[in-house]
Structure 1
Amino acid sequence: MTGRVLVAYGTTNGSTAQIAEAVAHVLCKEGLTAEARPAPSVASTETYDAVVVGGALYAGRWHKDARRFVRRHRRALAARPLWFFSSGPLDASASERNIPPVPGVRRAMDRLGVREHITFGGSLEEGARGRVAQMILRNGKGGDFRDLPAIEAWAERLAEEMTVA
């Protein structure tokens, strides 16, 4: 496949957007045409040959924009290569072991034939929006736990799978 790849994402404070942009950047560097877009801004997936969907995790659920995107585009997504990622653990756990998808993401994966899911560490920095985010920061549990080399390595592997397909 040498076509277009959409990396759609749901985020509140921008951390997941930055992961999606890093994935799209690597896919482009590997010779694919890829773009990262906020999930609500995508009217159609028909012009894409493959799709990656990412969602921030909040209280054991994917971000509402990612959930709505998958529900709204389910027929088109089921007809093309599809990968999911989650972001959110505010500790090093995502770099230390494989974290399985939350139940709602697992159900969507099974229905749509998702090729793979991966969980990356999240980031919650001062100035984050939301009452819960502010409480987490007040308790000293914030920080940036994203592992850029792991994100890039995953995207390189996806690019290889996409070009072989």
Structure 2
Amino acid sequence: MRILIVYGTGEGQTRKIAETLGGQIRRADHHVEVHRGDQLPEGLSPAACDGVLVGASLHAGHHQAYIRRFIRRHRPELRAVPSAFFSVSGSAASPDPAAQAQIRELVEVFLAEEGWQPDRWATFAGAIPYTRYGRLKRWVMRRIIARAGGPTDTSRDWELTDWEEVERFGAGFLELVEGKVPKGRRHVGQELLS
């Protein structure tokens, strides 16, 4: 089967997750292409694929505009094949149920605005690359993260992604594409959504 993964990233963690999912799909003996959403090859079409995964990172409550454009341009094709979406943010690592609910709501609003209901979707914790931030951004991020109870040692980067959760999401997507489970909208780790 041919699978397409399109992602949007700010500092690289969404790319890393997309590539990890791509590796998982390759190990299942399927052909996969992984592309950044603003660097797509000419003529690439989800219509030629058996399944499509789309990922984007969440910054200040918004996903990348080029991912929005990709979804809008290819909405009919995304509806026709098994599809999934994943959102990546540092806030998704919060142990606070209210913060988790807010992230899920942002994803629901994003998908509703784009008029796309993927068969599966998930939120993943990203990373905090303090060492790659400029001085001002590092100071601002440390204050925000401290209020949320996150790591504040700015001398190193912090990877917050739960890789087992990513693997479970990938396995669920493969079952969907391979026809082992029916199509239907579901948030990973949550009850079936209508």
Are 2:109 and 1:123 aligned? Answer: no
Tell me, in whole angstroms, the C-alpha distance in 1 between the residues paired with 2:72 and 2:112: 12
The match for 2:73 is 72
Deviation at 1:93, TM superposition (A): 2.9
Helix, strand or coil at the partner of 2:76: helix
Deviation at 1:120, TM superposition (A): 0.2
The match for 1:155 is 170
CA distance 1:57–1:86, shift in 2 (3 Å): same
Letter in 1 for 2:32: A
Unaligned runs of 5+ in 1: none
Letter in 2 for 1:49: D
Letter in 2 for 1:73: H
Aligned 8 A contact 2:93 2:126 in 1:
no
The match for 1:105 is 110
**Count of matched residue pairs:** 161
The match for 2:185 is none
Aligned 8 A contact 2:47 2:77 in 1:
yes
- Which has the larger share of strand? 1
Helix, strand or coil at the partner of 1:164: coil
> Which of 1 and 2 has higher RCO (CA within 8 Å, sep 6+)?
1
State the Cα deviation string for residues 46-103 of structure 1 (Å, max 9, x = none): 3212101000001111122221211222222222111100000346337x86752514
Tell me, in whole angstroms, the C-alpha distance in 2 between the residues paired with 1:108 and 1:27: 29
State the Cα deviation string for residues 99-137 of structure 1 (Å, max 9, x = none): 52514423057x3331121000011212147x7x54444
Tell me, in whole angstroms, the C-alpha distance in 1 between the residues paired with 2:170 and 2:65: 24
Q: Which entry has the higher C-alpha Rg, 1 or 2? A: 2
Tell me, in whole angstroms, the C-alpha distance in 1 between the residues paired with 2:23 and 2:17: 10
Tell me, in whole angstroms, the C-alpha distance in 2 between the residues paired with 1:36 and 1:135: 34
- % identity of equivalent residues: 26
Q: How well do the aligned residues superpose, as a CA RMSD in angstroms?
A: 2.8
CA distance 1:134–1:64, shift in 2 (3 Å): farther
Deviation at 1:29, TM superposition (A): 1.1
Tell me, in whole angstroms, the C-alpha distance in 1 between the residues paired with 2:10 and 2:93: 21
CA distance 1:101–1:82, shift in 2 (3 Å): farther
Helix, strand or coil at the partner of 1:112: coil
Tell me, in whole angstroms, the C-alpha distance in 2 between the residues paired with 1:19 and 1:119: 11
Query: 5 Å matches for 1:4-153?
Result: 4-42=2-40, 43-90=44-91, 92-93=93-94, 99-102=103-106, 103-108=108-113, 111-125=115-129, 126-128=131-133, 133-139=137-143, 141=145, 143-153=158-168
